[in-house]
C-alpha cells in the first residue's frame, strides 16, 4: 500500500521524525509512516517543556509504531533569548507583527542538527520535520530557503553525504495552512487528543487556550469542521 | 592595535568561540581576541568528555578573558555511531584511510547550531570555530564547502539573518597544518600547557600519546620546533 516499503519484501527505509508532542509533528510523522518509512522518533527537550509535552510525544511515537524513540535534552535556558526558554512571558493577546518572542534562536537548526547525527548513526534516508511556513511565517527557520540551506549542510557535512546518500530533509506540511494539516491528520487517523500544542500549558498539561499556538490550533480545527478532542482540556 | 575594536571607543564586537579544551580551539580563540572581538566562549559536552577537557576549556576561557563562558550538555551517547560517544575503541595505531571512527555524526553541525543560537541571543557578529581541513581531511564537517553551507543556514534560518546581519562563520585555521597552528598559537602566547588534545585521556586527564589527536599534536610541535608543555603529562 505504501510507496516506499512493505510489499516488495525489502525492509522499509528509515526516517528520523522530529516529534515535539504537538499537532504538526504528529501529522508529519503519520505522513512518513503512510509513505512507507520506518520511523525513528526524536524528541528534543530544550528547556522549554513541561512533562506533559514529553508524554504527548511518547504517546504519538507509540501510535506511530516507532522502532525507536530517542529523547535528547539540551538546556537552552543558559542561552535564553526567547519567551519559551527564559523569563519573557508568552503573549496571550493574539499574533503581532514580525518575528514573535516565542522564536527560539536557531531552534530548527539545532533540531535538524541533532536529527542529522541520529540519521547518520541509524543510516536513515530522510529527516521529517513538521515545519510550515503559512502559520509560522514570522519564524525564519520555517521557510523553504532555510530547509534547502540545511539540506546542503547535510550533503557537505556528513559521512553519508560524502558517500552520496545524505539524508533528505522532508517538510511535508511546509505549504499547508493549519486547516489543511488538521484535514491531513484526520485522513491519517492521527490521535489528536494525544497531542499538545500550547506554548504554556498549566502544570497538569492543560493548554492555556490563549497563546498563539492555541489560537492557531482552534482556528484550524474550526475551519476544517473537525472537533478537537484536546480542546475540552483547555482551561 | 586590534582591527575591530578598542581604539575608536566603540565597544568591541562579540564573537562566540567554540572552545573544546583542545589546542586548535584555543588558538582560534586567541586569534579572535587579537582581531578585537569580545569573546563569549561556548563549550559543548556531548558525552565524550572527561572532566579534564572541560577544565581545560575553562582555563583557556579565563586566559582569553571571555566575558561569558556557556557550557551546554547534550548526551550523544544515545545517538552513538562514533568511537568518541560509544563503546567503539579509539584507534591508537596511527591514522587510517577514509573517514575515521572518531568522526561524530554531524558533530560540527551541532556545535555550530548551538553557537548560532547563542550568537543570536548575545547579538554576536561572528562564530569562531577551530576546524581545519589539512589534518582532519577525513572529517567531512571540517571542509570549506560545509562551512559555506552552514553560513547560508545562518543567513536564512535566523532572526539576525532576516534582519541582514547573520553572524559570520569564521574558521581562521582552516588552511593551516598543525605546525602552522602551533606557530600561530606561540605568537599569540596561547598557554599550550592548559590545553588537552587527546581523544582518550586517562582518568587523571593525561593524554594517551597514541591516538590520532596525540600523534598530530606531537608532529605539529616537533615540526614547529617548539616544546609542548603538555607533553610531559603523556603516559
* Residue B97 CB coordination number (10 Å): 6
B75-111: per-residue pLDDT in tens? 888 888 888 887 777 888 777 777 788 888 899 999 9
Mean pLDDT in chain A?
89
Contact B158, B14 (CB under 8 A): no
Decide if A178 is inside a domain: yes
Strand partners for A39 = A15
| C-alpha cell, B144 | 570549506
Mean pLDDT in chain B?
89
| C-alpha cell, B152 | 547560508
| C-alpha cell, A5 | 516499503
- A48 or A15, greater pLDDT: A15
Strand pairing report for A38-45 and A68-73: parallel
Strand pairing report for B14-18 and A168-170: unpaired
- What per-residue confidence (pLDDT) applies to A226? 97
Q: Of B182, B198, B180, B178, which Cα lies nearest the Cα of B190?
A: B182
Strand pairing report for B126-128 and B14-18: parallel
Q: Of A49, A122, A44, A111, which Cα lies nearest the Cα of B114?
A: A111
- What per-residue confidence (pLDDT) applies to A8? 56
What would the mean pLDDT of B1-27 be, rounded to a whole number?
79
- What per-residue confidence (pLDDT) applies to B1? 41
Contact A18, A115 (CB under 8 A): yes
Contact A150, A169 (CB under 8 A): yes
Q: Does the distance separating the beta carbons of B81 and A121 come in below 8 Å?
A: yes
How is A91-140 classified by DSSP, letter by letter?
A: P-S---SSS-TTPPTTHHHHHHHHHHHHHHHTT-SEEE----TTTTTT-G
Highest mean pLDDT among A92-101, A165-174, A203-212, B195-204 belongs to A165-174
Q: Does the distance separating the beta carbons of A162 and B149 come in below 8 Å?
A: no
Decide if A6 is inside a domain: no
What would the mean pLDDT of A123-138 be, rounded to a whole number?
87
Decide if A9 is inside a domain: no
- What per-residue confidence (pLDDT) applies to B2? 44
Here the CATH number for the domain that contains residue A164 is 3.40.50.620
B36-62: per-residue pLDDT in tens? 999 999 999 988 667 788 899 999 999
What single DSSP character describes residue A148? H
The pTM of this model reads 0.92
CA dist A127 and A102 (Å) reads 24
Decide if A5 is inside a domain: no
Q: Terminal CA-to-CA distance of chain B, rounded, Å? A: 42
Decide if A8 is inside a domain: no
* Residue A120 CB coordination number (10 Å): 24
Contact A158, B140 (CB under 8 A): yes
What single DSSP character describes residue B59? H
- What per-residue confidence (pLDDT) applies to B232? 58
| C-alpha cell, B8 | 575608536
CA dist B167 and A143 (Å) reads 19
Q: Does the distance separating the beta carbons of B114 and A104 come in below 8 Å?
A: no
Q: Is it the case that residue A72 has pLDDT exceeding 60?
A: yes
Interface test with A, best of B120, B156, B167, B171 (most A CBs within 10 A): B156
Q: Is it the case that residue A145 has pLDDT exceeding 50?
A: yes
Domain that holds residue B124: 14-227
Helices (H), chain B: 23-34, 51-64, 107-121, 144-156, 159-162, 178-187, 212-224
- What per-residue confidence (pLDDT) applies to B139? 82
Chain A and chain B share a number of CB contacts under 8 A equal to 154
Q: Which of A148-162, A200-214, B187-201 has the lowest mean pLDDT?
A: A200-214
> Is the CB of residue A140 less than 8 Å away from at least one CB of chain B?
yes
CA atoms within 13 A on the CB side of A19: 34
User: Cell match 603538555: residue?
Assistant: B230
Q: Which of A40-44, A151-155, B83-87, B227-231 has the lowest mean pLDDT?
A: B83-87
Counting every residue written for chain B, the total comes to 235
Q: Of A162, A2, A109, which Cα lies nearest the Cα of B139?
A: A162
Q: Of A159, B56, B190, B207, which Cα lies nearest the Cα of B216?
A: B207
Chain B residues touching A146 at Cβ < 8 A = 153, 156-157
- A185 or B7, greater pLDDT: A185
Q: Is it the case that residue B233 has pLDDT exceeding 60?
A: no
Q: Which of A140, A148, A159 sits opposite B159 (nearest CB)?
A: A140
- What per-residue confidence (pLDDT) applies to A103? 81
* CB-based burial, B30-59: b 16+ in 10 Å, e otherwise: bbbbbbbbbbbbbbbbbbbbbebbbebbbb
**CA–CA min distance B111, chain A (Å):** 9
Contact B210, B172 (CB under 8 A): no
| C-alpha cell, B202 | 586517562
Strand pairing report for B14-18 and B38-45: parallel
Strand pairing report for B38-45 and A38-45: unpaired
* Total number of domains in chain B: 1
Three-state secondary-structure class, residue B213: helix
ipTM score for this prediction: 0.90
A200 pLDDT band (50/70/90 cuts)? confident
A2 pLDDT band (50/70/90 cuts)? very low
Contact A49, A38 (CB under 8 A): no
Instruction: Note the Cα B139 to chain centre separation in Å.
Output: 14
Q: Which of A70, A109, A158 sits opposite B116 (nearest CB)?
A: A109
CA dist A55 and A19 (Å) reads 11
Decide if B165 is inside a domain: yes
A161: closest chain B residue by CA: B140
Amino acid at each position: 500500500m505504501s510507496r516506499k516499503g512493505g510489499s516488495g519484501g525489502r525492509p522499509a527505509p528509515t526516517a528520523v521524525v522530529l516529534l515535539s508532542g504537538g499537532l504538526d509533528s504528529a501529522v508529519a510523522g503519520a505522513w512518513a509512516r503512510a509513505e512507507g518509512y520506518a520511523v525513528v522518533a526524536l524528541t528534543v527537550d530544550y528547556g522549554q517543556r513541561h512533562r506533559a509535552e514529553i508524554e504527548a510525544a511518547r504517546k504519538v511515537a507509540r501510535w506511530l509504531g516507532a522502532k525507536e524513540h530517542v529523547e535528547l535534552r539540551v538546556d537552552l535556558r543558559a542561552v535564553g533569548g526567547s519567551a519559551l526558554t527564559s523569563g519573557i512571558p508568552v503573549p496571550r493577546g493574539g499574533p503581532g507583527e514580525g518575528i514573535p518572542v516565542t522564536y527560539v534562536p536557531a531552534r530548527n537548526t539545532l533540531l535538524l542538527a541533532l536529527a542529522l547525527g541520529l540519521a547518520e548513526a541509524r543510516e536513515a534516508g530522510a529527516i521529517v520535520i513538521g515545519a510550515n511556513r503559512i502559520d509560522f511565517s514570522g519564524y525564519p527557520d520555517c521557510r523553504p530557503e532555510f530547509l534547502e540551506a540545511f539540506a546542503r549542510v547535510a550533503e557537505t557535512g556528513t559521512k553519508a553525504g560524502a558517500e552520496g546518500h545524505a539524508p533528505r530533509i522532508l517538510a511535508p506540511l511546509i505549504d499547508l495552512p493549519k486547516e489543511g494539516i488538521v484535514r491531513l491528520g484526520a485522513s491519517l487517523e492521527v490521535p489528536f487528543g494525544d497531542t499538545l500544542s500550547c506554548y504554556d500549558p498549566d502544570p497538569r498539561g492543560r493548554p492555556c487556550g490563549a497563546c498563539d499556538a492555541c489560537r492557531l490550533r482552534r482556528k484550524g480545527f474550526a475551519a476544517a469542521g473537525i472537533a478537537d478532542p484536546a480542546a475540552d482540556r483547555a482551561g
